[in-house]
Amino acid sequence: MIDYQNILNTINQSVRQEKDKGKIASYIPELANVDINNFGVHLQLISGEQYAVGNSQQLFSIQSISKVLSLALAMSQMGTAIWKRLDVEPSGNPFNHLSLLELEKGLPRNPFINSGAIVIADILVSNLENPKTDFLNYVRDITGDNSINYNLKVTQSEKETGFKNYAAANLLKSFNNLNNDVEVVLDFYFHQCALEMSCAQLSKAFYLFANKGECLASKGRLTKSQAKRINAIMLTCGFYDEAGEFAFEVGLPGKSGVGGGIVALLPNEFVISVWSPGLNERGNSKLGMQALEQFTTLANQSIF
């Protein structure tokens, strides 16, 4: 038996001693109002057991982690038709990089870079009756938690400063890969990124990806094949220009957000969510990555 609680306690102790905690994202001004000393981990085993340490119940802005959830809803609604609009190749570039999009004529490399997530947002805006409410309800459903909500201050803050996302959406529009108005699609996208969740809630939301598409709380929302494919994209594209490093150090599919959260999972075994708001130079949680490296090393578990 692996002593998970002991492992989480060890990680908590070692990570909290780190002097360099990275830098809080400030390009979305509202994100800067967070204490850099927050650190939490929640581990959800597929068997049902849970372990936690630190600020694992505190809400934070999930930002790009939401791109996995919007992709899951788009795949469950539209199936494979979505892949006419975007690709599944790692970009090797930062999340908000634009020149590749122009070079590749408006076909985003993958659904986790911003341009790809904006195409997924466009698909959801076209297909959902009440896009923002329906997406929120989907996340509440798969998590089994109706308290989850958007932080509208974060939505507004990103709306006022999201110039590169406006550029990406306009570029997509110029290549006929955006069917709805730029404003409408970005309003949806800025809401989805402004979802607030805790590590504990994120572990529950991501349970279905680790459990062949079956949710913890409610009935399954994905096929086994869809869960497999989303995990593959998390592994190859979940950390942008640091996807190789994450696979090398941690060895799990996962997804990061500029709010400092990371969710990673081992299919059929567990989901682990980490939050530490300080980011490294590539925009991923500095101590979060460190904690996950320690976790897979100490527990001796990874996909490899």
Q: Which residues are tagged catalytic?
A: 64, 67, 189, 240, 258
Using CB atoms, what's the residue nearest to ligand DON? 64
Cα–Cα distance measured from residue 265 to residue 6, given in angstroms and rounded to the nearest whole number: 19
With CB under 6 A as the contact rule, which of the stretches 169-177, 195-203, 213-221, 255-263 interacts with ligand DON? 255-263
Verify binding: residue 155, ligand DON, rule CB under 6 A.
no
Verify binding: residue 91, ligand DON, rule CB under 6 A.
no
**Rule CB under 6 A: which of 21-80 touch ligand DON?**
63-64
Verify binding: residue 197, ligand DON, rule CB under 6 A.
no
Cα–Cα distance measured from residue 136 to residue 97, given in angstroms and rounded to the nearest whole number: 27
Q: Which amino acid is at 251?
A: G
Verify binding: residue 254, ligand DON, rule CB under 6 A.
no
270-275 vs 60-61, strand pairing mode: unpaired
Q: What is the DSSP letter of 97?
A: -
> What is the smallest separation between the CB atom of 293 and ligand DON, expressed in angstroms?
17
User: Which conformational region is residue 296 in: left (phi greater than 0), alpha (psi within -120 to 50 degrees), or beta?
Assistant: alpha
Verify binding: residue 283, ligand DON, rule CB under 6 A.
yes
Q: Please identify, using beta-carbon distances, which residue of 95 and 209 lies nearer to ligand DON.
A: 95
Which one among 54, 131, 238, 257 touches ligand DON, defined by CB under 6 A? Answer: 257
The pattern of x and - marking residues 199 through 228 that bind ligand DON according to CB under 6 A reads ------------------------------
Sheet of 50-54, strand order: 50-54, 40-45, 270-275, 261-266, 254-256
With CB under 6 A as the contact rule, which of the stretches 15-23, 51-59, 131-139, 251-259 interacts with ligand DON? 251-259
Residue 57 vs residues 39, 42, 52, 198, 199: alpha-carbon distances, Å: 10, 8, 9, 5, 6
Which one among 165, 180, 198, 280 touches ligand DON, defined by CB under 6 A? Answer: 165
Cα–Cα distance measured from residue 287 to residue 298, given in angstroms and rounded to the nearest whole number: 16
> What is the smallest separation between the CB atom of 288 and ligand DON, expressed in angstroms?
11
Q: Which two tokens stand for residue 139?
A: 């996340």
Contacts of 72 (CB under 8 A, 6+ apart): 142, 208, 209, 221, 222, 226, 230
Which one among 107, 136, 193, 230 touches ligand DON, defined by CB under 6 A? Answer: 193
- Contact between 177 and 106 under an 8 Å Cβ cutoff? The reply is yes
Verify binding: residue 157, ligand DON, rule CB under 6 A.
no
Which one among 177, 256, 273, 290 touches ligand DON, defined by CB under 6 A? Answer: 256
> What is the smallest separation between the CB atom of 231 and ligand DON, expressed in angstroms?
18
Verify binding: residue 294, ligand DON, rule CB under 6 A.
no
> What is the smallest separation between the CB atom of 27 and ligand DON, expressed in angstroms?
7
What is the full DSSP assignment across 166-186?
Answer: HHHHHHHHHTT---S-HHHHH
- Contact between 56 and 204 under an 8 Å Cβ cutoff? The reply is no
Q: Which residues bind ligand DON (CB under 6 A)?
A: 63-64, 95-96, 114, 158, 165, 193, 256-258, 283-284
